[in-house]
A and B are shown apart, each in its own frame.
Chain A
């Protein structure tokens, strides 16, 4: 038969057979007894339940047809809906047969019409006594006995017995087994999402082992690619994406959740655990970091950050999504229908819907910082170092005392690595002459004074000079210089012990190297600070452009420990290297060195003690000066605890030391009210100390989590009242630059104090009153946070002052100026850990320790937030969130409050109690749950077999289709859940399930179909052939990349940006995202890792029916569009793949000896094997060769086109033709299909 005449026939027959099938069912039912579940309930459900079903709010005439006892009872009119065995007396039959438009059912306005066959079924059923049966999917599955089909030859495992049984009942037989090469490709694509390489195919074909198929299955199941493949499908359900969705669609970090899924699937985490961890991992005893990351499942809901939204409204929408998604994923039910009203078809009431929501509604939604063991170790070490730092701070204080003399160094030797010469000037400076190398090091030896004493530091002065380029001070054309590193050593310094023995001692053999505590300069170029000259990094350094206020500039480095030298006739030498390695002749042109020196007079007997004394004296002096300067504007503050702290939404709780922490929900207009008992002294001012905390977004101190600056707050107004009197504010100050505390007392709620940029740190705002609150009066302090986003404070402490100073904030934090003695005591202890003692605070801030403070900053980097992931975190037990029934599902219409509870038609969630989210998760996977196992197995079956045993994979309710193989589904469900006992590792094992399916003979059938099977089994519902399906979007891209060898197999990590037209994420999109194409291997990662932007998904994936991540997707519906053809013909990914294959093909051609024609034919064979895992048949080979010949000849004259096709400036027309051949093969139906 030629295709011309065959095709239309195929199509007619597809349709014809379908309608025939319906007719067959109906007519056979009319003869045999109508089966309630199979035949009757679908009709009642579709046409009747909307008004005569479970929803009592819309029930008409008091007639309820979904339960037998009410169906056979009299309705409001007295008529009886169903009179068993008496159809003619049944109102139902009367009404469906009626010709009267006012009486006929369903009513004409519903536009639903019953067919004659429907009416006949209902009639027959009532005649039979109108038996009802429990819906199949609401009963726990039982272990079906294995059928014994007549042909026992066929079949490999239990699945096949059930399938063969049904095939035979339908008058069908199984198809032959697919060819081995087809099976290899099918298995690879199904289990790993990647195609086999040619070597894989050849190895399989050449394997003689009888178990080679099973071995391959095992190998693929244990391949890391397996987890990636099955994760992608799970992410469809989890509505995973890397952005928040809606208008702004900002980037979020939740890829650790994606990686958790990959790991779990590869580890074959049993599905019951997989479920529990994702829904309630945080509630597991001793929850691990991974358990908490797993709860990202329900954090994949969208977050609306559009200006001015009501955050609680969109939180409610997220909750609705969570309930609906849970229903779809685990229950296979459209639970979501009951959001607005009782379910029209299934036994889920609106109240039950909100009871289900209550389980999920009692969680906070933080960003979890991923502190793994390695990071924790790093932090512990950093913490220890910081402790050591603090402990040794005083010992490293530089000598800055009046007795330090800065003496011009006596240079006794000077050498330039670059060949420059040094010319001593009369003022003790040196002018550098001669060669001007690109880089240089000046090596200087300095003779120290003959008097014993300490070297405390080094000073470098550089000078302008008319003989230097642009007058210097450097030798670069613009007069600049860069001192990369300054190194100082004392080679013959005496150790302390030696020194104490006097001048006779032998110097130490190891030179003493200077370490530095502080660096100061008269000027440093931006980005080239004086500190950079002693940071151990020769790429950074000290420079001077634009040379303000010459003619000389200086830098001083203070030693961390003064170096003692004994003096006398053989004084120690000091070696100083001035390294200038920046390049471009950035060399010093004229300079002078000085050393800081303290004479030891008299020479001490205990040098070590004398050195310590020197340092201590220096510290005491500096500290005293500092204290004196700070005391000048020091206002004493007293921390105060409120007697009550309330808020419109949040709960404010004192967490010790008068610090308040806010928890709970927040809105666009929040206020905190703090009541204070009468004070002994008048209140002149109020100070708000805003505190960071790891629990807050970006560590706080604010609670902004969307739209605004994350971790900030917006303090609109503060008020202070006593009784009836409101006290006016005089002035306000804040500690953070750019903040404006005055905006919080300007009576304009639209302006306020914020700390953006200072997240993770503490900040202060102080407010001075016009007149004080007199002593002895209770006071009420109110803070209003109002913005178009929710922005209250997360953690804070209030302080009062009785000082009437004009300036309230000093450079010192309030705890150092407290007037509360008891508190002072407490602080002394507390602050040791938290903020350090006063001296430590000084050490952390004095410029005399600036180099060392840098080291501290570096240590503290270990505590900066690193990777985060969105998680669920159950609220404290004393702060539950209430859940309400919402009238018509509307956010603004909350009605009665509900508590946790499962739907009545399913087993109870927990015994004797409603349970919590963890109980709910466990309930989903309990052994007598009728839905979960069936739903999950059916979905996985569909992914492998192309179609679910229950075709409506997302609906197992009354409206869903009935299983084609109910006994098989139940057998699998029971076996999967129970295994051979509790310890069976196959219990709930996904790998077990996948293994079972792919090793069945059913799966191994050929997907080619003959006319008979196409007619009798057009949709393959009876499994009379193997599965055949176009590849999924990511699979297709991965397959292209595998074919060309470009695929980068790196697993996990942040999402990547493979090439696509940049306009996809910018043109017409509100939340524009610059698609900065990833470099290197990240261009070629598996599709699973492609950055998923909700409002503008990766174009190729969208074209091939990939998800947007905006809603739970239970099943991808493959389509077939011209846009897909355009993508496969012209997309850069395909072009690049073809070019690689073209190069490869040309190389193959050259490698094969023999005639030109044979070589080309061999290449065609190889390409087929590479791309389609098989050899071409003669017709195919001929067509492809003819095309290749024609194109190579034609392109011989098209040099430019040839170069472009080859992609690497090669004008080889044969190679270009191979590029085109590869491109054509990549576009064949067979290539993009899992056959």
Chain B
């Protein structure tokens, strides 16, 4: 018998209960009586909880293209912009917009890549995304995204938490808080990073004022994939399981004396930790993946990459993880938008398409929502600054950008919303960040207005006091 089996048998036979049995019926505070009669912490904060209504998506994979890709060069072709190349944008278009680096009288820069139509839907896509072109009929391109923030950190935190300064719970945390976890063998909200450093930092996946139980867990590229998931040197599986037996026995003994339910929760946490020690290496072991799958993702199993992260994401959601966010930071093309975007597409395009195809093939796409996008768009105006060594770049542009969504109740093969001839402003069916958040929650079975948490005397929501579900892009 393997050591792990011994420990498992111990837990299930000796302890006689799993966390599920300990769990109370999950309650969202928004449902409870107000004021002085407010309920306190639910006993098991990760017990699965019923959504507000039948969900279309059970899981979310968020491909966060941090640094902000250019909608003008990837998704939203603007022939007019090419015509106007070199001329300034009329001041009335610019309005009072502040820019990070450029002056508002900078000249326009035409689209830098060729566009073509793909798939039955005839979705328009730039030449640098040849793989994505093959799955466009599963995607819904939202060309009318807009945000309030024009700097990276605040905009990233805004997209993730609904607020531009750190301190509030992230979308993944809200989802765990609302829905609980389907797995006890892996973290239910996992964060990976495959590009450069993330501007918004840990605030992007923070649980904010929610208990840290709901925070995103980093799956790391170096060392232990999850901090401390490996046994210390000299401790083998058997020693670990025997040690846990002793710990659990002492804790059980203590529980009988002190009677505090927290001890029961601690016992369960140790059980989960031990399982995590088994599942984490299993998760990271890609040797059993079909070589064709690895090839499709373009994934070298030994090297951390966006491709590997996408494959791991699929494996995790198969194992019950609810939310996976992959940060690929590096789209911040203040200079050489061509080189930058070519390079980033090379790193991400194939895996994005492979992920969609893979999920579809496994029947997972129907209830897995995939969201791709950055924190804002890029200016139709050129950024060049000899003093800073910049040329042919684009600055930050909050007024309009493109995101795409797929699976999990999203209508495929559609393009939603539109920008003006310069790609400057949204002119049709605007989708604000809060609307995107409301829509994601809705697809996951949660009403963004009812998913609240009382903190400092106020019921907080992911969408603050805003947000409208974009019903047009949701399958009936």
Contacts and interface: CB of A to CB of B under 8 A. Distances in A.
A938 interface: no
A247 B152 contact: yes
Contact of B247 (A334, A1068, A1194, A1227): A1227
A308 interface: yes
Given A308-B99, A1071-B197, A1125-B272, A1205 B264 contact: no
Interface of A: 3-4, 7-8, 10-11, 14-15, 18, 22, 25, 38, 41-43, 45-47, 111, 115, 118, 245-247, 249, 302, 304, 306-310, 317, 321, 328, 333-334, 336-337, 344-346, 743, 748, 750-752, 788, 892, 951-952, 954-955, 957-962, 1007-1011, 1014, 1019, 1028, 1030, 1061, 1063-1064, 1067-1072, 1094-1097, 1099, 1102-1103, 1105, 1108, 1110-1111, 1114, 1117, 1119-1127, 1129-1132, 1135, 1179-1180, 1183-1184, 1187, 1190-1191, 1194, 1198, 1200-1205, 1216, 1220, 1223-1225, 1227-1230, 1233, 1235
B262 A41 contact: no
A373 to B, nearest CB: 39
Interface string B222-243: 1110111111111110111011
Contact of A1230 (B233, B254, B274): B254
B101 interface: yes
A1224 B247 contact: yes
> Which of B99, B152, B221, B245 gathers most chain A CB within 10 Å?
B152
Given A308-B101, A334-B456, A788-B100, A1119 B247 contact: no
A1094 B201 contact: yes
16 contacts: A3-B255, A245-B166, A304-B153, A306-B151, A751-B387, A752-B387, A1008-B259, A1009-B258, A1019-B40, A1122-B269, A1122-B270, A1125-B266, A1130-B230, A1184-B246, A1187-B242, A1224-B246
A1110 B169 CA distance: 12
Given A308-B101, A750-B386, 20 more contacts: A7-B22, A11-B261, A111-B450, A247-B200, A307-B151, A317-B165, A334-B456, A961-B38, A1067-B193, A1068-B193, A1069-B198, A1070-B197, A1094-B166, A1111-B165, A1122-B272, A1127-B228, A1183-B249, A1224-B243, A1224-B250, A1225-B250
Nearest to B184: A1122
Contact of B35 (A961, A1123, A1225): A961
Nearest to B454: A959
B202 A1108 contact: yes
Contact of B458 (A317, A337, A1099, A1230): A337
B305 interface: no
B243 A1223 contact: yes
A156 to B, nearest CB: 23
Nearest to A1124: B269
Interface in B106-145: none
Contacts of A1072: 197
A1122 B238 CA distance: 19
Interface stretch (B210-218, B312-320, B355-363, B402-410): B210-218
B265 interface: yes
A4 B276 contact: no
A1201 B200 CA distance: 42
Given A957-B457, A1070-B198, A1130-B231, A1120 B266 contact: yes
Given A1009-B258, A1130-B230, A1205-B235, A1111 B273 contact: no
A1070 to B, nearest CB: 3
Contacts of B236: 1198, 1201
A45 B35 contact: yes
A1067 B194 CA distance: 9
A1069 B247 contact: no
B222 A1063 contact: yes
Contacts of B235: 1130, 1201, 1205, 1220
Contacts of B275: 1122
Contacts of A1095: 200-203
Interface of B: 16-17, 21-22, 24-25, 30, 33-41, 43, 45, 96, 98-101, 151-154, 164-167, 184, 187, 193, 196-203, 206, 209, 211-213, 217-218, 220-224, 226-236, 238-240, 242-247, 249-267, 269-270, 272-277, 327, 329, 385-388, 395-396, 447, 449-450, 454-458
A247 B153 contact: yes
Contact of B227 (A246, A743, A1061, A1225): A1061
B324 to A, nearest CB: 14
A341 to B, nearest CB: 9
A1075 B329 CA distance: 22
B166 A22 contact: no
A1202 B257 CA distance: 35
A1067 B164 CA distance: 23
B112 to A, nearest CB: 22
A1013 to B, nearest CB: 9
Given A1114-B456, A1125-B273, A1202-B234, A43 B201 contact: no
A308 B165 contact: no
Contacts of B100: 306-309, 788
Contacts of B450: 111
Given A961-B35, A1224-B246, A1119 B45 contact: yes
B201 A1096 contact: yes
A731 B145 CA distance: 49
Contact of A1028 (B244, B260, B386): B260
Contacts of B250: 1180, 1183-1184, 1224-1225, 1228, 1230
Contact of A1220 (B239, B327, B396): B239
A344 B460 CA distance: 13
Contacts of B30: 111
Nearest to B229: A1126
A1009 B203 CA distance: 38
A1183 B101 CA distance: 67
Nearest to B96: A892
Contacts of A309: 100, 151
A166 to B, nearest CB: 15
A1126 B277 contact: yes
B202 A42 contact: no
A955 B458 CA distance: 9
A1179 B238 CA distance: 23
Contacts of A1216: 234
A321 B165 CA distance: 10
> Which of B98, B218, B246, B447 gathers most chain A CB within 10 Å?
B246
> Which of B249, B255, B257 gathers most chain A CB within 10 Å?
B249
Given A1068-B193, A1187-B246, A1205-B234, A1120 B265 contact: yes
A958 B34 CA distance: 11
A337 B232 CA distance: 48
Contacts of B247: 1224, 1227-1228
Nearest to B268: A1120
Nearest to B32: A22
A1123 B187 CA distance: 9
Contacts of B329: 1068, 1070
A115 B21 contact: no
Contacts of A952: 38, 457
Contact of B261 (A14, A18, A45, A1061): A14
B273 A3 contact: no
Contacts of A307: 100-101, 151
Contacts of A1223: 243
A1233 B257 CA distance: 14
Given A1126-B228, A1224-B247, A42 B37 contact: yes
A1069 B193 CA distance: 9
Contact of A1070 (B201, B229, B258, B387): B201
Contact of A3 (B39, B98, B252, B276): B252
A1108 B205 CA distance: 12
Contacts of A1117: 41, 211-212
A42 B34 contact: yes
> Which of B213, B276, B450 gathers most chain A CB within 10 Å?
B213
